[in-house]
């Protein structure tokens, strides 16, 4: 197996798929990249058994076809220290010996048998949908932060995807906060749903560009994303997602509209003085005045700020976890936000005031912290 390739092109592609690699693996073969040269194209794969990512690169020159598993860390560390130049790879299939030649000299390392590398699962009876890369990136950005980390409830550690002929819905919740992101400019041929784990979501977010068209193939156990010259295959989270619609309150007569940036900045300042366990901030609304306050009785710390707002409904006081509010406000981009409430012991609904995109709808729910 012999080929010549640009060092910077190879490094860029390895870094794109390198996020799949774990720092510690049960199988030594997973510490390697799989290189497969065939018909003038080099396919490079990385896997952690749950997720497999492949990319196709065109070498400057491809001489002898073949495949080999090359130690990932050693190769990445070497390539990072080269200026852009052609590298010649020569592999001995019998001993798995690898020789890399550059302008500076020669480097020898030993690979592993490519046959030991895990094969990507085949998607039998898969459904497919094609959507814009921008939609994938936005859906992940708006939802992934709200996923849970509870190992006892694995279904809530991923993003729930609900596809139908009318729209695509992405949902994330950790039982304290919930985000539902809907797109009406995308559709699937039939109704289906699945739960995507966090790791492949982060890999997609860092690799998909807005210009890409992403083809999603999925069945009961596996999903595959194809975009550009890259392919990501991941195992889905098994289980039934909770009925999230049931927790979204439908009757919210108290409606607060406030400048998003001022509201976020005020919560950031006031929350410094909140209790370090509950992170509670109190919102008190009366007329067109919103009072944001926090206190930590253990250390006699307290803070209070006032903002002007637009409000319709009864005067009320409600407590929220400031961390959740700050996260949510940071993932909304409109000038103003709307907070819909019913009672101090029921969830608040945070909405953007108008949407940047007519085809998207964002609903964020946050559970209250009881005021003592």
What is d(CA 234, CA 225) in angstroms, rounded to the nearest whole number? 9
Q: Identify which of 50, 194, 202 has the alpha carbon closest to the alpha carbon of residue 127.
A: 194
What pLDDT, on a 0 to 100 scale, did the predictor assign at position 123? Answer: 87
Mapped onto helix, strand or coil, the DSSP state of residue 325 is helix
239 and 253 inside one domain: no
216 and 272 inside one domain: no
25 and 99 inside one domain: yes
Per the listing, tokens 């279904």 go with 155
User: What confidence tens digit (pLDDT) does each residue in 205-261 have?
Assistant: 999 988 889 999 999 999 999 999 999 999 999 999 999 999 999 999 999 999 999
- 214 domain residue, yes or no: yes
- 284 domain residue, yes or no: yes
Rounded (5°) CA angle 74-77-82 = 125
Count of all residues that appear for the chain in the document: 372
| Half-sphere CA count of 368, side-chain side, radius 13 A | 21
User: What confidence tens digit (pLDDT) does each residue in 49-61 have?
Assistant: 999 999 999 999 9
100 and 133 inside one domain: no
| Half-sphere CA count of 306, side-chain side, radius 13 A | 5
Structural domain count of the chain: 3
Residues with Cβ within 8 Å of 36's Cβ and at least 6 positions away in sequence, in order, are 42, 43, 44, 45, 66, 67, 114
Of the residues 90, 116, 142, which one is the last residue of a structural domain?
116
CATH code for the domain of 91: 3.10.150.10
What pLDDT, on a 0 to 100 scale, did the predictor assign at position 9? Answer: 96
Classify the phi-psi angles of 39: left when phi > 0, otherwise alpha if psi is within -120 to 50, otherwise beta: left
262 and 351 inside one domain: yes
- 222 domain residue, yes or no: yes
53 and 28 inside one domain: yes
DSSP structural state of residue 60: S
Q: Are 59 and 90 in contact (CB under 8 A)?
A: no
**Residues of the chain predicted below pLDDT 50:** none
Q: Are 336 and 261 in contact (CB under 8 A)?
A: no
Measured distance between the N- and C-terminal CA atoms of the chain, rounded to whole angstroms = 71
- 30 domain residue, yes or no: yes
43 and 90 inside one domain: yes
Mapped onto helix, strand or coil, the DSSP state of residue 324 is helix
Q: Which two tokens stand for residue 111?
A: 């690979």
What pLDDT, on a 0 to 100 scale, did the predictor assign at position 372? Answer: 67
Beta strands 222-227 and 310-312 are: unpaired
- 371 domain residue, yes or no: no
Q: Residue 70 sits in which domain range?
A: 2-116
- 121 domain residue, yes or no: no
What is d(CA 363, CA 344) in angstroms, rounded to the nearest whole number? 19
What is d(CA 304, CA 281) in angstroms, rounded to the nearest whole number? 10
- 133 domain residue, yes or no: yes
What is d(CA 119, CA 43) in angstroms, rounded to the nearest whole number? 13
Of the residues 189, 216, 245, which one is the last residue of a structural domain?
245
180 and 74 inside one domain: no
User: What confidence tens digit (pLDDT) does each residue in 310-323 have?
Assistant: 999 999 999 999 99
Q: Which two tokens stand for residue 129?
A: 């949908």
What is d(CA 161, CA 298) in angstroms, rounded to the nearest whole number? 43
Of the residues 211, 228, 245, which one is the last residue of a structural domain?
245
- 122 domain residue, yes or no: no
32 and 71 inside one domain: yes
168 and 188 inside one domain: yes
DSSP 223-271: EEEEETTEEEEEEPPPSPPP-GGGGS-S---EEEEEEHHHHHHHHHHHH
Q: Identify which of 98, 38, 25 has the alpha carbon closest to the alpha carbon of residue 68.
A: 98
Query: pTM (2 decimals)?
Result: 0.92
80 and 156 inside one domain: no
241 and 256 inside one domain: no
Mapped onto helix, strand or coil, the DSSP state of residue 190 is coil
Mapped onto helix, strand or coil, the DSSP state of residue 183 is strand
Q: Which two tokens stand for residue 308?
A: 């002007």
């Amino acid at each position: 197996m012999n080929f010549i390739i640009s060092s910077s092109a190879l490094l860029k592609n390895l870094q794109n798929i390198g996020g799949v690699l774990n720092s510690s693996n049960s199988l030594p073969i997973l510490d390697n990249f799989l290189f497969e040269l065939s018909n003038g194209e080099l396919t490079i794969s990385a896997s952690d058994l749950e997720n497999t990512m492949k990319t196709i690169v065109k070498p400057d020159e491809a001489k002898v076809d073949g495949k080999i598993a090359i130690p990932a860390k050693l190769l990445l560390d070497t390539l990072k220290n080269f200026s852009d130049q052609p590298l010649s790879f020569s592999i001995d299939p019998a001993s798995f010996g690898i020789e890399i030649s550059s302008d500076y000299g020669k480097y020898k390392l030993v690979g592993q048998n490519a046959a030991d590398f895990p094969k990507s699962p085949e998607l039998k009876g898969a459904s497919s949908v094609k959507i814009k890369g921008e939609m994938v990136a936005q859906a992940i950005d708006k939802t992934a932060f709200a996923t849970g980390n509870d190992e006892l409830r694995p279904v809530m550690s991923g993003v729930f995807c609900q596809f139908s002929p009318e729209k695509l819905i992405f949902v994330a919740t950790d039982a304290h906060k919930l985000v539902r992101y809907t797109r009406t400019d995308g559709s699937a041929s039939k109704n289906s749903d699945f739960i995507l784990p966090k790791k492949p979501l982060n890999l997609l977010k860092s690799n998909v560009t807005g210009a890409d068209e992403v083809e999603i193939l999925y069945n009961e156990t596996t999903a595959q994303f194809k975009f550009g010259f890259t392919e990501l295959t991941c195992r889905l989270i098994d289980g039934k997602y909770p009925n999230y619609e049931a927790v979204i309150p439908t009757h919210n007569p108290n409606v607060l509209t406030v400048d998003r940036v001022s509201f976020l900045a005020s919560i950031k300042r006031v929350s410094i003085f909140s209790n370090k366990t509950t992170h509670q901030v109190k919102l008190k609304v009366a007329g067109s005045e919103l009072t944001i306050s926090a206190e930590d009785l253990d250390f006699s710390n307290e803070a209070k700020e006032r903002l002007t707002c637009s409000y319709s409904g009864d005067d009320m006081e409600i407590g929220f976890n400031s961390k959740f509010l700050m996260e949510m406000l940071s993932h909304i981009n409109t000038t103003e936000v709307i907070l819909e409430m019913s009672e101090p012991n029921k969830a608040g609904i945070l909405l953007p005031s108008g949407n940047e995109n007519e085809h998207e709808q964002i609903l964020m729910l946050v559970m209250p912290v009881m005021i003592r």
